[in-house]
Amino acid sequence: MSLSFNLLKATLSLSLSPSISFSSKCSFSSSVFSPRPIFSRVSRSSLSTKTAMGSAPDAAMDAVQRRLMFDDECILVDESDNIVGHDSKYNCHLMDNIELNKALHRAFSVFLFNNKFELLLQQRSATKVTFPLVWTNTCCSHPLYRESELIEDNALGVRNAAQRKLFDELGIVAEDVPVDQFTSIGRILYKAPSDGRWGEHELDYLLFIVRNVNVNPNPNEVADVRYVNQEQLKELVRKADAGEDGLKLSPWFKLVVNNFLFKWWDHLEKGTINEIVDMKTIHKLT
């Protein structure tokens, strides 16, 4: 009994450690960031055992995805995008937390176009915990609770995170996607279940960039890629809506497509994209 209690106490102590681990692939400063005192970590008292060890339904989880779920610390925000804390990617994507605790985290969606203004799409890998094998925009992920990705000025932290994940997922090197070349178009807030256990509840920054890049997808993250023009994307959307060929689109991508994308795409081709940038509004989409 005493041994079990001591092990549980050690596990809780580790799970509450404020240290942040840095990816070796990240091109930014690797100095450890001490969380600001005004930010608070959401209590993990009811989920600490799951966070440290996983649970029975997680037994088949891919090892790489498991590591990311437990090691990555997402930035918790309120509906006005104010930072209110941080928690593991695992906890942020449990539907129980989303529904009961209203857990909301910051995210980003990159739309990368080549010089012919074709949009690069990816199909998420089969090993992804949420929305496996669905087609979506170029790269979708989260800024992490680390110094370089918490920078609020002109969404620099989010753009740093986007550069990092484009390399992690698609092998696009940082030199090909400089952070100053991203245009932050706007923000959306949405909630979407993936299955009965997992889901998304995100305040999502939408980033556009036009660059010709070399793509070398990471198979643990990406199953397939393709470039599409506007007409080809409209056909993909039609097929997904009709359930043809087993094609599925991510819910956040469909929301952007249905509400904004083609109008923004036109502005991008005309060179007038800055005319429609709106970082003051947070669009709540369902």
Catalytic machinery residues: 140, 202
Any idea which residue has 């094609």 for tokens? 247
What angle is formed at CA 273 by the lines to CA 169 and CA 138, rounded to 5 degrees? 15
CA 105 to chain centre: 9
3-class state of residue 80 by DSSP = coil
Round to the nearest angstrom and report the end-to-end CA distance of the chain.
49
List of residues 6+ apart from 121 with CB closer than 8 A: 135, 136, 137, 138, 225, 226, 227, 228, 233, 236
Q: Is the backbone of residue 154 left (phi > 0), alpha (psi -120 to 50) or beta?
A: left
